[in-house]
Amino acid sequence: MTLVPEPGAAAAAAPDVAAAPDATAAPDAVDLIMAKRDGRVLTDGDIRWLIDAYTGGRVADEQMSAMSMAIFFRGLQPAELRTWTDAMIASGQRLDLSSVPAPTVDKHSTGGVGDKVSLILAPLVASCGAAVPQLSGRGLGHTGGTLDKLEAIPGWRAGLSAREFVHLLSTVGCVICAAGADLAPADRKLYALRDVTGTVESIPLIASSIMSKKIAEGTQSLVLDVKVGSGAFMRELDRARELARTMVRLGTESGVRTTALLTSMDTPLGRAVGNAVEVAEAVGVLSGTGPADLVTVTLELAREMLSLAGIEADPAVALADGSALAKWREMIAGQDGDPDAALPAAAHSLLVRAPESGWLRRLDALAVGTAAWRLGAGRARKEDPVSAAAGVICLAKPGERVQDGQPLLELRADDAARFGRAVEALDGGIEIGEQQPVLGPAVIERIA
């Protein structure tokens, strides 16, 4: 694989908002902040200069913080957002996957609780004939990270060279690994800034962050899994729909075939929440068994990916005949992991029991995700370690009838002292009632 540098962003003519009389002068960060603060549209030159100058250290963090807040309140017009995203891509290198013989298609999830879909999806879609290049990340807060989960497998490594990446993609057909530092470095700086300035929820900034990395990755097609619900980044359907449409437009305008599925995240996906426990559940699905909600979401995403890649194949058959599981083993071994090794097991466990009999009406995803985080499965800061063995097993799910005293959840931890705060996180997150709940669909809507 060849890493192709993007052309540098040339200094543009001074925008209308600039006060300097010299029409050839570079823009001024303060002028641009004030322009966006007042609701004015930034020119392509303004934006390209700003991103390039910030990446190169010529615009200070406090200035970009002010710009992020101005964008939070004023937004970006579609043309501004397109240029903003392009400039973020141009801040680093863009991968060239043209030597990969199979059509390339990736999937990105906005994150949720128990979302181990990528672990299943990459080998599943690859077993049907596509090449799946997944550059993934680590978890933060109550949402898990794909790399953290895979690192529970003895020997598996997330860091690959460009040569290893393209070799595995061309031979195995699927790779899940960490993105290199040269991929959209502007996003790395902006992401950290947004996290400490209260601007994380800005849809233009979310969309440009996700899509700059995915477009720079070089995939031909992309399916977005936009989670909706209490355990998701987007809790409201209208906001999730807006984010999905924004990202689909950015991908399409950049020449990447892009669609999105809105999927439910009010309840943990599947029954396992953590790292090793999610790997075990993913292997179960690949072996032909698994929770219905997890299987449904995975198959719908797989069908969408194969459709974009132009491949006529039924992923359900690949699950049933063992080819997806064989591809999983090949993918793990290709990154030095041992697919036969025992996964880490927690030293301590605690059962959370039903306080009464009735229908389990609600098992809040945020509450369960926070409990898993407090057990050690997640991190508060990027540099924090995570426990491979910690997590939560959902022994019952909404729509099931439970008895007084019946185990609902099994908490697992390396340190028993963590159980207290984990149980506190579950307070108010479990609802049992006399009426059977009406459950919504796992896949809510498709956006293209």
- Catalytic positions: 108, 187, 194, 209, 213
Beta bridge partners of 392: 273, 411
Amino acid sitting at position 392: V
Strand pairing partners for 432? 360
Neighbours of 266 (CB within 10 A): 21
Task: Phi first, then psi: give them for residue 350, nearest 5 degrees.
Answer: -145, 135
User: Burial level of 40, CB count in 10 A (0-12/13-18/19+)?
Assistant: middle
List of E strands, 391-442: 391-394, 401-402, 407-413, 430-433
Q: For residue 61, with 0-12 CB atoms within 10 Å meaning exposed, 13-18 middle and 19 or more buried, which class applies?
A: middle
| Strands 348-353, 391-394: pairing kind | unpaired
| Contact call for residues 286 and 124 (beta carbons, < 8 A) | yes
Distances in Å between the alpha carbon of 127 and those of 121, 124, 259, 296, 325?
10, 5, 21, 18, 9
Return the closest-CA partner of residue 119 out of 144, 93, 95: 144
Query: What residues are paired with 261 via a beta bridge?
Result: 225, 446
Task: Tell me if 306 sits within 8 A of 315, measured CB to CB.
Answer: yes
Residue 139, helix vs strand vs coil: coil
Distance CA(272)–CA(388), nearest Å, equals 13
In 255-315, beta strands by DSSP E = 257-264, 272-274
Task: Output the CA–CA distances (angstroms, integers) from residue 31 to 15, 40, 57, 291, 364, in the order listed.
Answer: 9, 11, 18, 54, 45
What is the distance between the alpha carbons of residues 393 and 412, in angstroms, rounded to a whole number? Answer: 8
Q: Say how far apart CA 190 and CA 286 lie, in whole Å.
A: 37
CA 102 remoteness from chain centre: 24
The whole-angstrom separation of Cα 316 and Cα 288 is 9
> Which H/E stretch holds residue 144?
none
